[in-house]
Structure 1
Amino acid sequence: MSPKKETVHRPLRRTEHEIVFGTTNASKGWTDVLAVQRNTVVEAWERLTKDPLSNDLTCHGMKGDLEFVTHKGATHRRRQYELSNGARIWFYVHDGTVVLIDVHTHHPNATK
């Protein structure tokens, strides 16, 4: 009898951030972008767990009307991680947790 196949999820170091879905759209978008950009999404996961708040060309705060997002009654600074082919991960960080609020498989119209 073979053992039941069960995924072993990567554990976090004590210094790393947990990543959670803040919306069902983010969960669906994550699944969709993972299907077409697996390696890039893995790089995003590694970056967001280790250092989601530093700014560079790939990961940065948003500006203008998109700078803040209200989620579950609280206002947060919205950040963006840029994947290839225009895909984007929008998130905020709260109490050591990266909360994914939107995952776009292509460049979102709101930032064009």
Structure 2
Amino acid sequence: MAKKSPVSRPTKKTENEILFASSQAAKGWRDLVATRRNAMTDARDFLTRTPTAVTPANDRLRGELATVSYHGTTYDRWQHKPSLRDGARIWFFVDGQTVLLEDVHTAHPNETK
């Protein structure tokens, strides 16, 4: 019998793929999954299905933070709140059907206070 290993959730053709755009995003995601697993599962589902829907938990950032440059291309920067009860934030941008996680904050980021 083969060694046990996790089975990754495949995305449907209508869903977006989620990638880390930075090592900080990967670390922040891992830290939030460790402390807020259910909220992060819901966040992942939201980001794969409707990342640019404007909701109380998801909106474009404004002002100086409204855009991000990645590999020479400028994108709209979005912010997702895994929970409305705490300050954790996921900053991301969308390129076609790919959601790139730029930064994952375990607490409210100082830039938006």
Q: Distance in 2 between matches of 1:53 and 1:14?
A: 17
Separation of aligned partners in 1, 2:30 and 2:41: 12
Give yes or no for contact 2:68–2:74 (8 Å, CA) kept in 1. yes
How many matched pairs? 111
Match of 1:32 in 2: 31
Residue 79 (structure 1) aligned with residue 81 (structure 2)? no
Q: Structure 1: any 5+ residue segments left out of the alignment?
A: none
For structure 2, which runs of at least 5 residues remain unmatched after alignment? Answer: none
Question: What one-letter code is carried by the residue in structure 2 that aligns with 1:21?
Answer: F
Match of 2:40 in 1: 41
Amino acid corresponding to residue 45 of structure 1 in structure 2: R
1:1-112 to structure 2, matched below 5 A, reads 2-84=1-83, 85-112=86-113
Deviations 1:15-45 (A, max 9, x none): 0000000011101111111111111000000
Distance 1:16 1:102 in 2: 21
Distance 1:6 1:110 in 2: 38
| TM-score w.r.t. length of structure 2 | 0.95
Whole-Å separation in 2 of the counterparts to 1:74 and 1:66: 15
Aligned residues of 2:89 and 2:104 also touching (Cα < 8 A) = yes
| Rounded Cα–Cα distance in structure 1 between residues aligned with 2:28 and 2:72 | 23
For residues 67 and 50 of structure 2, the distance between their equivalents in structure 1, rounded to whole angstroms, comes to 20
The alpha-carbon deviation at position 73 of structure 1 amounts to 1.4
- 1:63-89 CA-to-partner distances (Å, cap 9, x unmatched) read 111100111211100000012310000
Does the 8 A contact of 2:42 with 2:82 survive in 1?
Answer: no
